[in-house]
Amino acid sequence: MCGINGIISGNIEDKGTRVKAMNDRLSHRGPDDEGVWQDGEVALGHRRLSIIDLSDAGHQPMLSACGRYVMVFNGEVYNFRELRNQFDYPYKSHTDSEVILAAWLKMGPKCIELFNGMFAIAVWDKKEETLSLVRDRLGIKPLYWSLNDNGLFFSSEVRALLASGNVSKELDDNSVVDFLRYQTVQTPNTILKEVQMLLPGTILNYSIKSNEVSLDTYWNLADKMQQHKPGSYDEVKKQVRNLFFESVERRLVADVPFGAFLSGGIDSSAIVGAMAKVSSNRIDTFNISFAEDEFSEAPYARYIAEMHKANHHEIHLKPDDFLHLLPDALSAMDHPSGDGPNTWVVSKMTKEAGITMALSGLGGDEVFGGYAIFNRMAALEQRKWLWQLPLFLRKMAGKSLASLKPGVASSKMKQLLEMAEYNFEEAFATSRQALMDPQLEGMLNRDKLPAHNPVEWLKKQNLNGKAGVLSLVSVAELSTYMQNVLLRDSDQMSMAHALEVRVPFLDHKLVEYVLSLPDNIKRPVTPKKLLVDSMPDLLPDYIVNRPKMGFVFPWRDWLKGEMHSYADERIRSIAQREMFNEKGVLDIWNRFLKGDAGVTFSRVWPLVVLEEYIRLIG
């Protein structure tokens, strides 16, 4: 796990110095080694967090044996040992990085289809004078890029791009709307006008001669929903179990101390159970509990740890401990997010407990239908007849509902009923929306709000008719909330502490298989039924039927109490910025302070985060 940087330009003379500055900005991602390679119009940089082959032989930028290709790489290719012997290559290390080069030398970009892992790769072809940027299938590892008159710039983080001195800090007005709607910005856009994020499953090709880019898709999530006849339920369970165990086993390859996050929920318990079965070593597990004893997840985590004879670590934090750490968590932001501080604190405590790599249950809910939205969207699909009623009747019903039962859920249902006709994309996006459009219209100085990015993105995937509604929801969740909130937060906040996080539920082979299953096989009539039925020895009733908890912080009370002056100052500051309507912003803030049911903390917190981010980038 590392950080990568690069500049390809014929106009900048001090590229090496600038890439060194970009490297320095990523020092938290790679404290073990750094390197800069420069030749003519190209400079590549790398910061290394050593996970596999800790020797100097893993130094990057790495040149191919023939000298034609130069590579920087962030992430892990889990099946590199299987691939190593497929290529006749004079290996000098035991790294996955060198296997990538060996495969590239033989096959070019087509080799990416062989890789199982999480990765962001940059390869410079000295002969053709072209750059290839590659991002993994599910978007686990980030890769940002910017193209302007000075050339092409790329990095693992936005702040390193800005450190080059050649990328503008100007905010993108439409992306600000996107962020306030969904607490993130939909890929390929970012909060900055001049910066893009490479889409998952995509290769970017850049020629210095033309100063132009082209994009090729090598894997697309929505194409993996083609339904097939899976055989009996017992056969499905066996296949799910095999794919899951293979995924976990692949992710145990490391030359550093590692462990697993263990909340005691279904997903983390399954991972720890599989780790214990496939590993010959005792597993280290980490439970970080923020709640009081009677609401704590610690007993469930302790139960699973004892069941598998794990070396269990309990880290107890009080809400005030988290509050004390919050300013440092916000200062670690690379891109604004409504939920990043939680991950920052968990990663900090885990790293301080002595490990460098951890497995996480991220993705289990999205793949196996763990969120309430799966059943909610299925119910909406069954009630599509409502949208055959006249629009004026639906508007009256929505207005009455919002009046009789004011709150977030009612305002979302009101917006749904006002759709011209029912469609999955808009219904899904509305369920994920924070600030609703009528609220935003009063807060922003603009005549018209832009189209909803998640809706536009999902429509491009032409999802209708490809699969059942549960697979549609999985694709939508994985492509929006998972990719642009959870994975982005997981990467930037864990790597702020040089902690690598691996996510077995997002193995592309497992994801592809579950997406292809019909709804009747995986309908979550009980929590994540298919996953639970496939792992009965790992998931006892005590865990499966426990109350769902998670980290719960008293945000509402904090924003009205201990954090009031901090939040109030930032909200009043952002209200005065040109794109905002001061009166509208302060109205939302005051409604929250007065306890308006339609303005929860998650509607005002993004304003605080956005102002803090604007200050961070200067």
Q: What is the pLDDT of residues 597-614, one digit of tens each?
A: 889 998 999 999 999 999
Q: Report the DSSP pairing between strands 284-289 and 258-261.
A: parallel
How many other CB atoms are found less than 10 A from the CB of residue 582? Answer: 14
**180/229 same-domain check:** no
Cis peptide, bond prior to residue 336, ω within 30 of zero: no
133-143: per-residue pLDDT in tens?
999 999 999 99
419, containing H or E segment: none
**165/312 same-domain check:** no
Domain boundary among 169, 196, 219: 219
Q: Residue 506 in contact with residue 363, Cβ under 8 Å?
A: yes
Does some domain include residue 436? no
| Helix%, strand%, coil% for the chain, nearest 5 | 50, 15, 35
Angle formed by the axes of helices 424-431 and 408-417, nearest 10°: 160
**pTM (predicted TM-score):** 0.95
Establish whether 2 is a catalytic residue.
Answer: yes
Q: What percent of the chain has pLDDT over 70?
A: 98
**253/301 same-domain check:** yes
Please state the rounded mean pLDDT for residues 414-430: 90
The CA–CA distances, whole Å, from 268 to 362, 486, 497, 512 equal 8, 16, 21, 21
Does some domain include residue 423? no
CA angle 438, 442, 443 (to 5 degrees): 115
Least confident interval from 89-98, 222-231, 427-436: 222-231
Does some domain include residue 179? yes
Does some domain include residue 464? no
**82/138 same-domain check:** yes
Does some domain include residue 165? yes
Q: Decide if pLDDT at 512 tops 80.
A: yes
Residue 225: DSSP 8-state = G
**519/564 same-domain check:** no
256-299: per-residue pLDDT in tens?
888 999 999 999 999 999 999 999 889 999 988 776 665 678 89
Domain hosting 215: range is: 2-219
**160/65 same-domain check:** yes
**81/135 same-domain check:** yes
d(CA 536, CA 529): 11
Structural domain count of the chain: 3
- R_g of the chain computed on alpha carbons: 24
Domain boundary among 485, 517, 544: 544
Does some domain include residue 430? no
User: Would you state the pLDDT for residue 549?
Assistant: 65
Average pLDDT of the chain?
Answer: 92
Does some domain include residue 445? no
**204/131 same-domain check:** yes
CATH of the domain at 276: 3.40.50.620
**266/196 same-domain check:** no
User: Would you state the pLDDT for residue 526?
Assistant: 86
**268/239 same-domain check:** yes
